[in-house]
Amino acid sequence: MSKFNLLVLGKQGAGKGTQCKRLCETYGIPHVATGDMLRAAVKAQSPLGLQVESIMKSGGLVSDELVNALIAERLLEADAHQGILLDGFPRTLGQATALDELLGDDGVSLVIDLDVASDLVTERLSARRVCQECGAIYRDTDVAAISGTCENCGGDVIQRADDQPDAIRKRLETYERDTAPLLSFYAERGLLATVDGSLEPDAVTAQINAIIAERGLA
């Protein structure tokens, strides 16, 4: 199988996490999600975690300097040399140019944009509950969300602080301002493929797999 570096872009709540997990299993590449890495740092109360905790809670973006350094370090690990899937990075043009430098000749192979209307993502995020241990995602009406206990691992199922209404609004505004410009940045290089993220998860996965095959990446 060829090596490829895949980016998945999309608003918060577009379904990036679910699709990325599936893609990584299918193509055998590591799933690198800056949000998960930063949340782990906050949970561990590491120096990085202490630095980013309040900005994350409010729904703001962590500085390019910090996330670029985090990704630079992650890309040095052995498993990242056989291709990688980046979820939640880059989110600004500054991060996108830093990524180009980090990937060097290999570069970005394909950028998937999971396109979903703001009303739908707002509804999905408001109803989202997550397991603090394994990251499993539930809806507020699911048994695990009501009982507060994860069906996979028994961890606590909670509502993320940034899934509260004010933080959701702020995150979506930030997406439009800082991240949406990346769509034309990658489209101009012929790397962007847009997928309808409002469809059922299986239909979304099928579309992405078809694009990867069409482009001869796997």
Q: Give yes or no: 91 in active site.
A: yes
CB-nearest residue to ligand ADP: 35
**89 counts as binding ligand ADP under rule CB under 6 A:** yes
Set 11, 74, 124, 128: catalytic member: 128
Q: Give yes or no: 171 in active site.
A: yes
**38 counts as binding ligand ADP under rule CB under 6 A:** yes
- Report yes or no: 33 and 17 within 8 Å, Cβ to Cβ: yes
**Quick one: which segment of 1-9, 84-92, 102-110, 148-156 binds ligand ADP (CB under 6 A)?**
84-92
Q: What is the DSSP letter of 5?
A: E
Q: What is the DSSP letter of 155?
A: P
Closer to ligand ADP by Cβ: residue 12 or 122: 12
Q: Give yes or no: 177 in active site.
A: no
**The tokens of 167 are what?**
């933080």
Set 39, 74, 91, 129: catalytic member: 91
**Quick one: which segment of 32-40, 73-81, 111-119, 144-152 binds ligand ADP (CB under 6 A)?**
32-40
Could you tell me which of 14, 24, 57, 60 has the C-alpha nearest to residue 39?
A: 57
Where in 49-68 is the site for ligand ADP (CB under 6 A)? 55-56, 59-62, 67
**Cβ atoms < 10 Å from Cβ of 10:** 23
Where in 165-184 is the site for ligand ADP (CB under 6 A)? 171
**121 counts as binding ligand ADP under rule CB under 6 A:** no
Q: Which helix (H) or strand (E) holds 100?
A: helix 93-103
The angle subtended at Cα 20 by Cα 31 and Cα 176, nearest 5°, is 105
Q: Give yes or no: 16 in active site.
A: yes
Could you tell me which of 49, 45, 55, 59 has the C-alpha nearest to residue 13?
A: 59
Q: What is the DSSP letter of 85?
A: E
Distance, in Å, from the CA atom of 82 to the CA atom of 14, rounded to the nearest integer, reads 27
* C-alpha dihedral sign at 10, 15, 20, 23: negative
Q: Pick from 12, 109, 205, 207: which binds ligand ADP (CB under 6 A)?
A: 12
**128 counts as binding ligand ADP under rule CB under 6 A:** no
The angle subtended at Cα 180 by Cα 8 and Cα 17, nearest 5°, is 30
Q: Pick from 23, 29, 35, 195: which binds ligand ADP (CB under 6 A)?
A: 35
**Binding region for ligand ADP (CB under 6 A):** 12, 34-35, 38, 55-56, 59-62, 67, 88-89, 91, 95, 162, 171
- Residues forming the active site: 16, 91, 128, 160, 171
